[in-house]
């Protein structure tokens, strides 16, 4: 799959891209025209959860627009700068605290997943990526970007976290919304991908695959679900 996602996160793209997790994620908003978002634009949005595995350590419980729950796979009417108000609520159902998570929103009709016409996407991050993520095969570290400055989180097993657009990211969200209007009009389908999560013991999970940190040149070693969960099954599935 090819998507367009934050060109400024080159480190993230190289690690989470095709060479590692099978998804190249760059961003189109900077390339697309960004007209102002009309406040009275009649728009319908449908949210769909993409990729759910039986051993996922996290679970999408619901989506919110402002203070209202939004049903999955059902068109809902929105207006104004609605992308600012999205809240993606994810529960930690693993036996380990979550210290960082990344959720990807794909505007699935705005491209065909090819290099010539990638799919427009937005991403939401919570928490701070652990230092080992920057390790390279030769033992040196990649430069750290804005990800390294994010506030730390510690989401305990069974607890939930909410991914939102906040602060200066409102500008990015407005650009994404304008780009989606330009590409697909005012009937928009958004696929939600629970993209990658880091845990307090250093392990990470991305779209069905678990990894544990290792010394260079391996850097990351694939794990089985049994190795990750041990004797503790997912909670509240």
Instruction: Count the helices and strands in the chain (H runs, E runs).
Output: 3, 14
CA trace torsion 85, 69, 109, 175 (10° rounding): 0
- How far is residue 42's CA from residue 60's CA, in Å, rounded to a whole number? 27
Per-residue model confidence as pLDDT tens digits over 39-60: 445 689 999 998 788 899 999 9
Q: What is the pLDDT of residue 196?
A: 95
String of b and e for 191-211 (b: at least 16 CB within 10 Å)? bbbbbbbbbeebbbbbbebbb
- How far is residue 195's CA from residue 57's CA, in Å, rounded to a whole number? 12
Angstrom CA distances, 144 to 98, 103, 130, 135, stand at: 20, 20, 11, 10
Q: What are the E-state strand segments in 66-118?
A: 68-70, 76-78, 86-92, 98-107
- How far is residue 235's CA from residue 218's CA, in Å, rounded to a whole number? 31
Would you give per-residue pLDDT tens digits along the chain (237 residues)? 333 333 233 333 333 332 233 333 333 333 334 444 454 456 899 999 987 888 999 999 999 999 999 999 999 999 888 888 899 999 999 999 999 999 999 887 766 666 666 677 888 899 999 999 999 999 999 998 877 788 999 999 999 999 987 655 667 778 888 888 888 788 888 999 999 999 999 999 998 999 999 999 999 999 999 999 986 656 554
DSSP string covering 47-80: EEE----TT-SEEEEEEEETTEEE-TTS-EEE-S
Q: What is the pLDDT of residue 113?
A: 63
Q: What is the pLDDT of residue 2?
A: 32
Residue 203 contacts residue 223 (beta carbons within 8 Å): yes
Q: What are the phi and psi torsion angles at 133 (to 5°)?
A: -60, -30
Residue 61 CB neighbours (<10 A):
14
Query: Cα 200 from chain centroid?
Result: 19
Nearest to 67 by CA among 51, 49, 86: 86
Inter-residue long-range contacts of 24-28, CB under 8 Å, 24+ positions, other chains counted: 25/104, 25/121, 25/123, 25/195, 26/118, 27/121, 27/122, 28/4, 28/110, 28/118, 28/120, 28/121, 28/179
């Amino acid at each position: 799959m090819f998507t367009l996602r934050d060109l400024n996160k080159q480190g993230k793209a190289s690690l989470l891209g095709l060479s590692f997790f099978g998804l190249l994620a760059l961003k189109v908003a900077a390339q697309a025209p960004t007209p102002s978002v009309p406040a009275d634009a009649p728009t319908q949005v449908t949210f769909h959860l993409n990729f759910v595995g039986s051993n996922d350590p996290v679970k999408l419980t619901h989506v919110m627009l402002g203070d209202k729950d939004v049903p999955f796979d059902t068109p809902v009417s929105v207006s104004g700068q609605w992308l600012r108000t999205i809240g993606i609520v994810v529960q930690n159902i693993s036996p380990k605290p979550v210290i960082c998570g990344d959720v990807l929103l794909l505007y699935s009709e705005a491209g065909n997943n090819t290099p010539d016409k990638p799919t427009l996407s937005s991403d939401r991050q919570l928490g701070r990526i652990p230092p080992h993520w920057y390790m390279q095969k030769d033992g040196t570290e990649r430069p750290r970007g804005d990800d390294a400055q994010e506030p730390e989180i510690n989401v305990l097993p069974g607890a939930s976290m909410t991914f939102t657009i906040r602060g200066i990211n409102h500008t990015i969200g407005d650009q994404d919304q304008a780009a989606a209007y330009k590409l697909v009009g005012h009937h928009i389908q958004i696929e939600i991908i629970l993209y990658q999560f880091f845990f307090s013991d250093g392990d990470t999970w991305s779209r069905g695959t678990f990894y544990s940190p290792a010394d260079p040149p391996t850097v990351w070693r694939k794990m089985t679900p049994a190795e990750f969960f041990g004797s503790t099954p997912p909670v509240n599935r």
